[in-house]
Structure 1
Amino acid sequence: MKPFKSLILMLQFFTRLPLPFEIKADAEDFNRGFIWFTVVGLVIGGLLTLIYIILSPYISTLLLAVLLVLAEVLLTGGLHLDGLSDTFDGLYSNRDKARVLEIMKDSRIGANGALAMMSWLLLKTALLNEIFQNVQDGQAAQAFQTAWLPLLLMPIAAKSALALSCYLGPYARKEGMGHLFIGKVKLIRLIPVLTLSALIHGLLDPLSITVLAAILLLTFVYTQHVRRRIDGLTGDTLGAWHELSELFYLAGWIAIMT
């Protein structure tokens, strides 16, 4: 029962799905739930794919892209978007570590955070629309004629990047939600997450593994950049990278599909 408890816990933590379960969890439950990151990504991707399949015959690619972006925000409760805005407010404030962490903890959104969120919204919509248009206009390579495939795989890749960031750690604060994962993950739990993600990519489209590999490589770069600024990672920096990695994933998909 414990594995399923961990899965439900992760779905409740990362999504707003109305699951009829009330779970009492401690830090170890969250640590065990780490192995379900890829499955959570698959659930989110599956729901986005379902929305695409239902709506795509009836509306334009641009409107469909907008609705899918909004659907993902609603599905996740904007959990990672909050981290994106806080991270950009803090990291790019040109302050010392203590002040950066203080800014990131502030619930108010600053200019950098607002700009980051607006840019994310526009870029994600544009990237999705580009993918849909390429498929619709017949400009995509034969192997990439399925427009919903990046919708299914994108959250899986993002959760893989999130998992790798948690493993690379360490945690920059003394306390906070991020300590549930950051620096607490053992390699034996990371390997199944990345392996399952690679298997799903390989089975659905072997070329997509190159995009996944690029995202994981960029995760190392991003993690080192943040560690140089604040000597570690926080829950906000994880959320920021989750959202940024989805943008990079879609951009990579466009690069190889054309």
Structure 2
Amino acid sequence: MKDILEEIVAWKRFEVAKYKETISEREIHTLAERLSDCEVPSMKQALDKSETGIIAEFKRKSPSKGWIKQGGRASEIPLSYQTNGASAISILTDEKYFGGHDDFIREARNSGVTIPILYKNFIIDEYQLFQARISGASAVLLIAADLRKDTCKNLIRTAHELRLEVLLEMHNEKELEYCELEPDMCGINNRNLGSFVTDIQTSFRLASLLPYDTVKVSESGISSAITINQLRMAGFQGFLIGENFMRADNPGAALRDFIKQTDNMQKQS
């Protein structure tokens, strides 16, 4: 598959400009200010204290594989994830490439989801942080490959001002220098966002290079309890899993069974 990361980022710039024509920056700032006293659950604390650390993802589509669960409902699946033991939930909000929407977070919250929700998108403008805040997210994903270091620093600062935590995603040794920006959580994506090739060894290779005291999250390509236990031994506290659950007839039940397998393996080791 061709490298489409540049294409996605270019589309985001166009998309954000169109959003600003609908709701001005001034208006969206006002909407966020009204929520200044509203607390959202901490994803960092949830992962740090959790025995499973699983971030179950609501992901209906991907650029490389097309529709995964086109009829998946944000009013049902995230709550089912919570009921069946997820530590946090990741919700794709990109519409064009991943079939997502900001309203999916609102629907999840209205359905009764109280655990942390990660706003997962390609964030390149602080306007999107305000979108995340008013949607009900706890944290946002920032991708080092999308951002200049100074831009990333400013986005982290604005996110914190909005009481949003930041999961900073990296893919290679060079991007690890972004760790000095002190995000709340450091993520290693095992999937190359340009080629969409997945290699779980990326997490194992980079684990020891991450700051010792940071909350570490491994993302993508995780499909077995054995891998979870190996990643935990390598120092990871969070494990973002999407397609493995979303392809099941009942994603919540698939999560429950996966956690049982992980627990049984831990007891045997």
Report the TM-score range of the alignment, normalised by the length of the smaller protein. Answer: under 0.3
Q: Please, what TM-score do these two structures have when normalized by structure 2? A: 0.26
Higher helix share: 1
Structure with the greater relative contact order (CA < 8 A, sep ≥ 6): 1 or 2? 1
Higher strand share: 2
Q: Please, what TM-score do these two structures have when normalized by structure 1? A: 0.27
